[in-house]
Amino acid sequence: MYNILVVDDDQQIVEAIEIYLKNEGYKVFKAYDGMEALEILVHQDIHLILMDIMMPKLDGMKATIKIRESKNIPIIILSAKSEDVDKIMGLNVGADDYITKPFNLLELIARVKSNLRRYVTLGNYQDQPVSCKKILSSGGLELDSDTKEVRVDGENVKVTPIEYKILKLLLENKGRVFSIDEIYENVWNEESFKAENTVAVHIRRIREKIEINPKEPKYLKVVWGIGYKIDKL
């Protein structure tokens, strides 16, 4: 059973989401502001968070930033703000996905399952056969499929599950250029629809973590008008 934390100051929304999640077999924890969410995370093992943005005491953006200091669990932002700039901001601070209110609860459940599937897959490395355990590398950039760690010149780099999967896709196919749609469909396991901003934000975050100069990347390179790649170094 997976534990999901629902954070929203609208009690009716929380209760509606709770009903659907429980019907799917998830255990639900509820918080009505960012401070309550952080307190629950101290005492409970949470596998995914549904996070509203506009809340009292501590809003969803600031709560997400705080959570990302120590945890890589999936965070799906829920917000009434539909503008691209707000979506990009949510992804920039560390969210893995973004759903605009009002949303279809069945779509929300599908997003929850998709993000949990990625998170659990990345977390269950102990169950992999020895032959599947390997280190993918390009120069000083390494991705350890055994420990699920990313290193640059021997130093560990914290990445989210989505960032890990993007790096894994590109490192497994060094030299191949992936379009934005191809990256989205391979990583998110769903059809690409207006994915450009979503992928671009994650690429930028990865570069900030692995590149000495993100504006002149050594590892994760853009092929203008086509997509992204990691070369063999």
Q: Where are the domains of the chain?
A: 3-123, 127-230
Note whether 98 and 91 are within 8 A (CB): yes
Give the model's pLDDT for residue 83: 64
- Average pLDDT score over residue span 27-39: 96
Q: Yes or no: say if 64 and 40 are a contact pair by the CB < 8 Å rule.
A: no
Q: How confident is the model at residue 16 (pLDDT cuts 50, 70, 90)?
A: very high
Interatomic CA distance for residues 119 and 195, integer angstroms: 20
pLDDT > 70 in the chain, percent: 91
Residue 90: pLDDT over 90: no
- CATH topology (fold) of 127-230: Arc Repressor Mutant, subunit A (1.10.10)
Q: How far apart are CA 108 and CA 20, in angstroms?
A: 9
Q: What is the DSSP letter of 178?
A: B
pLDDT at 225: 86
Contact 75/22 with Cβ under 8 angstroms?
no
Residue 56, helix vs strand vs coil: coil
Report pLDDT for 194.
66
Mean pLDDT across the chain: 87
Q: Cβ distance 205 to 150 under 8 Å?
A: no
As given in the structure block, the two tokens for residue 150 are 């990313």
Q: Sort 212 into a burial class: Cβ within 10 Å, 0-12 / 13-18 / 19+.
A: exposed
Rounded Cα distance, 12 and 5, in Å: 15
Tokens of 199: 């992928």
Choosing among 2.60.40.420, 3.40.50.2300, 1.10.10.10, 2.102.10.10, the CATH entry for 3-123 is: 3.40.50.2300
Of 39-48, 79-88, 207-216, least confident by mean pLDDT is 79-88
Tokens encoding 74: 């999936």
Q: What is the pLDDT of residue 148?
A: 84
